[in-house]
């Protein structure tokens, strides 16, 4: 029997990048996966696609109702959908830009946690270790400052502490639901399409990779493996914790992140 067989997972932003890799890995581990995204998933992608806007409470209610009706349970939620909102400092970010990024990257995760807990509480029979696992995809932008994008840094920082608040509440209530955050450095995904269009994929990846001490960007699967572990009972004693996968970016100063070279 596969590790996650019989379990039901929702992955937001499951149509692209880290989300798509996570959908594939969770499905490979035996879970029934719902890929929830504003854009359609690839035809050959595993799991079931549901059109979903994480910024809308109505959409979350409909998604949870659909999953509970069709699958009868929810074991795993990966709050992965996110946007950068483009570059913007405190001076250049407009209120509209700010609100859009907070709505998707911060409020979307709040809504996801809120409605997933409701679904997970109804899930039974209880598994040996935990009833549910919530994995929130934040960023290194939640750990170290940057002049921009301001709204993105603020939203990802909010997700980091929201995850701990959710973890502590669920532990205190003895729900058996865990919640952790993941903090990627640069991952080669379509989120960088504007940069790839401006300078070419190879050159852009080399430029961003050079800022990571390890010397390269991550592949989406590198993050998917970490998310899979956090989703599974192999991490059953882990909650309220933050997991950095950034090629050493936030470890301290290195020649690479100082000068972009060795
Ligand atoms: N790629 C990186 O370097 C990197 C680094 C740190 C954190 N992250 C975070 O990882 C997550 C995934 O990013 P990615 O790099 O795979 O990006 P991506 O652009 O490849 O995928 C993001 C997905 O989210 C979906 N999405 C956007 N708005 C949505 C909404 N309102 N409702 C539902 N779905 C929505 C998009 O349609 C897309 O499929 C994001 O939260 C991002 O902030 C990425």
pLDDT at 253: 84
**Spatial distance between the Cα atoms of 110 and 56, rounded to a whole number of angstroms:** 11
Answer yes or no: is the C-beta of 186 below 6 A from any ligand 1 atom. yes
**Spatial distance between the Cα atoms of 32 and 262, rounded to a whole number of angstroms:** 44
Fold (topology level) of 8-259: Rossmann fold (3.40.50)
The list of the chain residues with pLDDT below 50 reads: 128
pLDDT at 113: 98
* Those residues with Cβ within 8 angstroms of residue 102's Cβ, 6 or more apart along the chain or in another chain: 151, 154, 155, 158
Which amino acid residue places its CA nearest to atom 40 of ligand 1? Answer: 82
pLDDT at 123: 83
**Spatial distance between the Cα atoms of 206 and 106, rounded to a whole number of angstroms:** 30
pLDDT in tens, 86-134: 889 999 999 999 999 999 999 999 999 999 999 999 986 555 457 899 9
Active-site residue, 152 included = yes
- CA distance from start to end of the chain: 47
pLDDT at 152: 98
Q: How far, CA to CA in Å, does 235 sit from each of 2, 18, 19, 89, 258?
A: 16, 20, 20, 38, 35
Answer yes or no: is the C-beta of 155 below 6 A from any ligand 1 atom. no
DSSP code for 142: G
Answer yes or no: is the C-beta of 12 below 6 A from any ligand 1 atom. yes
pLDDT at 225: 98
DSSP code for 233: G
* Per annotation, catalytic residue among 98, 152, 192, 243: 152
pLDDT at 255: 76
Which amino acid residue places its CA nearest to atom 7 of ligand 1? Answer: 139
Which amino acid residue places its CA nearest to atom 25 of ligand 1? Answer: 13
Q: Are 19 and 41 in contact (CB under 8 A)?
A: no
pLDDT at 124: 63
Please state the pTM of the whole predicted model: 0.97
Answer yes or no: is the C-beta of 14 below 6 A from any ligand 1 atom. no
Answer yes or no: is the C-beta of 246 below 6 A from any ligand 1 atom. no
């Amino acid at each position: 029997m596969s590790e996650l067989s019989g379990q039901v997972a929702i992955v937001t932003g499951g149509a692209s990048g880290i989300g798509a890799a996570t959908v594939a890995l969770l499905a490979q581990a035996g879970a029934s996966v719902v890929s929830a995204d504003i854009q359609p998933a690839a035809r050959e992608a595993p799991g079931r696609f549901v059109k979903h806007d994480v910024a809308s409470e109505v959409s979350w209610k409909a998604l949870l109702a659909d999953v509970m009706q069709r699958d009868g349970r929810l074991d795993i939620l990966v709050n992965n959908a996110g946007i950068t909102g483009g570059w913007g400092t405190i001076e250049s970010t407009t209120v509209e830009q700010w609100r859009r990024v907070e709505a998707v990257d911060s409020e979307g995760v709040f809504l996801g946690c809120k409605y997933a807990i409701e679904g997970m509480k109804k899930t039974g029979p209880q598994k040996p270790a935990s009833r549910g696992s919530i994995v929130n995809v934040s960023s290194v932008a939640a750990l170290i400052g940057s002049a921009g994008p301001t709204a993105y840094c603020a939203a990802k920082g909010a997700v980091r502490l929201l995850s701990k608040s959710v973890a502590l509440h669920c532990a205190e209530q003895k729900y058996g639901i865990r919640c952790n955050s993941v903090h990627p450095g640069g991952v080669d995904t379509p989120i960088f399409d504007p940069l790839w269009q401006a300078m070419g994929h190879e050159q852009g990846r080399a430029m961003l990779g050079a800022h990571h001490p390890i010397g390269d960007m991550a592949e989406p699967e590198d993050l998917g493996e970490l998310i899979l572990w956090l989703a599974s009972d192999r991490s059953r004693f882990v909650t309220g914790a933050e997991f950095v996968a950034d090629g050493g970016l936030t470890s301290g100063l290195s020649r690479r992140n100082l000068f972009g070279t060795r």
